[in-house]
Structure 1
Amino acid sequence: MPGGHGGGWRAHVLSQPWPMAHTRTHAVMLRLAVRDRDLTEVLGQLVRLAVAGPGSAAGKYPDGNTGRTRDGLTTPMPILDDLAALVRGCWQGLGPAQRVGQVSPALRRARHVPACGVV
């Protein structure tokens, strides 16, 4: 993450359209916040952990957001060029409803999206 936690924020940006992956990313971010004894981040990640899955399933997530508490829960952010290319690759072959996070039940059961490797 910018300012810490390596590529965790990059994983968050890529995981946003998929409820399980998005939720798992916040679980990892919560563990890192606990490890770092960052109470503000722990509390923020608890909230995000509760809303990540439903938000992704409903297509209601801020594109490019790093998932960190300091960035705001609903603040969209620019997606870095290399991540934007991956996101475009992930969305190839998905219908319009799926592009906003409403992934098909079959894809949810598979627990990953082969086009981009989100697990």
Structure 2
Amino acid sequence: MKFNTSIPSGLKGHYLKEIELYRSYLQKNDLTRAWHHLERSHILGQSYPMEHSYTHWLMLKFGFSQRNIKEVFGQVIRLLVGGWKSFIDHVPIGNTGGSNVPPMKKMEMPPDLILILNNYRKGQ
């Protein structure tokens, strides 16, 4: 069994760029684009416990700010179980992480994220 403890540094750069874009759009009150970049950060970081949990933490805060009870509840559940699933690399590839999708549903990924992830999976 393979354990994931830390994200490769190059991949972390891509992950942090999505977090940066999320914050930028949130500051501009462009909530649709902000959420989009949170979803992308989830796809990139979901195989790594710290990044996976941090994205869900941001999604929880976003849910609170929008007074979205479904999102808040969904993120609490994901925060409780997501990190250990990452540690053992048992995550649904492409899942965007919001409470609008089942937690274990595999989803189609954007082509640019497929290229990024394939690049770093080979190097591990």
TM-score range, shorter chain: 0.7 to 0.9
Q: Which residue of 1 aligns with 2:100?
A: 70
> How many residues were matched structurally?
94
Q: Which runs of 5+ in 2 are unaligned?
A: 1-30
Q: Does 1:60 align with 2:84?
A: no
**Identity over aligned pairs, percent:** 32
Displacement after TM superposition at 1:58 (Å):
1.3
- Secondary structure of the 2:36 match is coil
CA RMSD of aligned residues (A): 1.7
Q: Does 1:38 align with 2:55?
A: no
- Secondary structure of the 1:51 match is helix
| Alignment partners' CA distance in 1, 2:85 and 2:32 | 23
Displacement after TM superposition at 1:16 (Å):
0.9
What one-letter code is carried by the residue in structure 2 that aligns with 1:74? M
Larger helix percent: 2
Alpha-carbon displacement from aligned partner over 1:86-119 (angstroms, at most 9, x marks no partner): 111222321xxxxxxxxxxxxxxxxxxxxxxxxx
What one-letter code is carried by the residue in structure 2 that aligns with 1:42? V
Displacement after TM superposition at 1:4 (Å):
6.4
Q: Of the candidates 43, 51, 54, which is equivalent to residue 24 of structure 1?
A: 54
What one-letter code is carried by the residue in structure 1 that aligns with 2:105? T
Q: Which runs of 5+ in 1 are unaligned?
A: 95-119
Alpha-carbon displacement from aligned partner over 1:27-66 (angstroms, at most 9, x marks no partner): 0000000000000000000000111110001111100000
Structure 1 runs (4+) deviating above 2 angstroms are 1-4
